[in-house]
Amino acid sequence: MDLYSGHINNLINELAALPGIGSKSAQRLAFYIIGMSPARVKKLADALVTAKENVHYCQCCQNLTDTEICPICSNPKRDRSTIMVVENPRDLAAYERTGKYEGLYHVLHGAISPMLGIGPADIKLKELMERLRDDEVKEVIVATNSSLEGETTAMYISKLIKPTGVRVTRIASGVPVGGDLEYIDEVTLLRALEGRQEL
């Protein structure tokens, strides 16, 4: 016998299909949602559909946006000579939160992963190369993750861009600020050593 009625089970299953939501959280969420006011449930459901319908990739940087060109790309105050390449919009948001980066971005929507069968054609690399035809671009900062896939992608991008004469750099990898050496893995410690700079 099913523990819950059809509509509840259906909601639980839909919620449990989302990433990071297990069956217990899905149950808790479903009961919470059923306990919300009808107006709030409607608002949540509308937010889902409206976001899906209205959000698409920026024609320039491929970040998610409501407008044809995203607010960052269309901001005249941003430095158009620098493009930071990130894997996804969350990484872009992380750098934006620092409030210190003034250049543009390019969102790949993934990273090269032979293991998962994701090749260069599956991420927004073609769009990046098209942007480099613009003589304004002087530097591409590769800010993909410090994972196997991120490093592979960084190497690939570097090889692709170098012939064009545009400068390609990689964000530093090392001990996080506030990190305690004792608890940091050896690969990071070695990276930090290799990347040491004059004081």
Kind and range of the H or E run holding 64: strand 64-65
CA-based end-to-end distance of the chain:
69
- Measured from the CB atom, the residue of 8 and 155 that comes closer to a second copy is 8
- Measured from the CB atom, the residue of 96 and 139 that comes closer to a second copy is 96
Q: What is the C-alpha to C-alpha distance for residues 11 and 83, in angstroms, rounded to an integer?
A: 42
Strands 139-142 and 103-107: unpaired
- Measured from the CB atom, the residue of 87 and 170 that comes closer to a second copy is 87
Provide, rounded to whole angstroms, the least separation between the CB of residue 119 and a second copy: 19
Which burial class, exposed, middle or buried, applies to 181 when counting CB atoms under 10 A from its CB (0-12, 13-18, 19+)?
exposed
69 binding a second copy? (CB under 8 A): no
28 binding a second copy? (CB under 8 A): yes
Provide, rounded to whole angstroms, the least separation between the CB of residue 67 and a second copy: 7
Q: What is the C-alpha to C-alpha distance for residues 166 and 106, in angstroms, rounded to an integer?
A: 15
Q: What is the C-alpha to C-alpha distance for residues 154 and 136, in angstroms, rounded to an integer?
A: 22
Provide, rounded to whole angstroms, the least separation between the CB of residue 110 and a second copy: 11
41 binding a second copy? (CB under 8 A): yes
Provide, rounded to whole angstroms, the least separation between the CB of residue 53 and a second copy: 7
Give the interface with a second copy as residue ranges (CB under 8 A). Answer: 1-8, 10-11, 14-15, 18-21, 25, 27-34, 36, 38, 41-55, 64-67, 70-71, 88-90, 92-93, 96-97
